[in-house]
Amino acid sequence: MADFNPIAFNLDNEDRHLLEYLPPVLRQVLDFQQINAASEPEIRLAWQGLGRVLGNQFLEEADAAGLAVWERELGIYPKAGDGLAVRRARIKAGWNRKPPYTLRWLREWLDSLGGAEGHSETVEGYTLNIQLDYDLLPEPNKLVQELLGLLLSIRPANLLVQIEAQAAADLPAYAGAAACGFAFADGAAAQMF
């Protein structure tokens, strides 16, 4: 016999009435009918709240309120206009941040942010070059800036970080988000093409 899970049953069963939980004799009493009719909206809200709490326990299923809890735990502040995908990526990056790191760890970390296909990394001397596929990233402008900020916080002090985000199609310099460059004074540089 399978185990009965009352929480799952009540979350799946949206058409439930409190009156059905009473014995048949009490269902016919007008007082119980009125009490249950008045209590049902509150109980329905409680079950919806429980479903929301259960969903927010997992990062992939969390809504904006659930992501806010994760961000509070990590000390991350969302920026205005950030979508849920960027906030999830920032939270994953925050959980995976642990210096010092190796190149293999960095590749795995970038895999967790945007998938295995969207990046390549090389180290030349004291420069870490990261090339990102602009088309595969969720909200790439924001993600590149976040990625650079996170890498600067965990990189060794003698390492220069260069990030290039490239679109799959060769676009003219005047179209879309083309040709803009950044320079940072504390040993990091980022370029977007």
Position 64 in a domain:
no
Encode pLDDT of 44-92 as tens digits: 888 888 888 888 888 888 888 899 998 998 888 888 888 888 899 888 8
45 and 76 belong to one structural domain: no
pLDDT digits (tens, 9 = 90+) for 140-172: 777 778 778 877 877 777 888 888 877 765 443
Which amino acid does the sequence have at 62? A
73 and 52: one domain? no
Containing 47, the helix (H) or strand (E) segment is helix 30-56
Q: Is residue 97 part of a domain?
A: yes
Determine the structural domain holding residue 11 and report its residue range.
Answer: 6-56
Q: Which of helix, strand or coil describes residue 167? A: coil
74-108: buried (b, 16+ CB within 10 Å) or exposed (e) per residue? Answer: eebebeeebeeebbbbbbbbbebeeeebeeeebbe
- What is the count of structural domains for the chain? 2
Q: Which residues contact 173 (CB under 8 A, 6 or more apart)?
A: 179
Q: Is residue 114 part of a domain?
A: yes
Same domain, 36 and 103: no
Of residues 104, 101, 97, 90, the one with CA closest to residue 144: 90
101 and 16 belong to one structural domain: no
pTM: 0.44
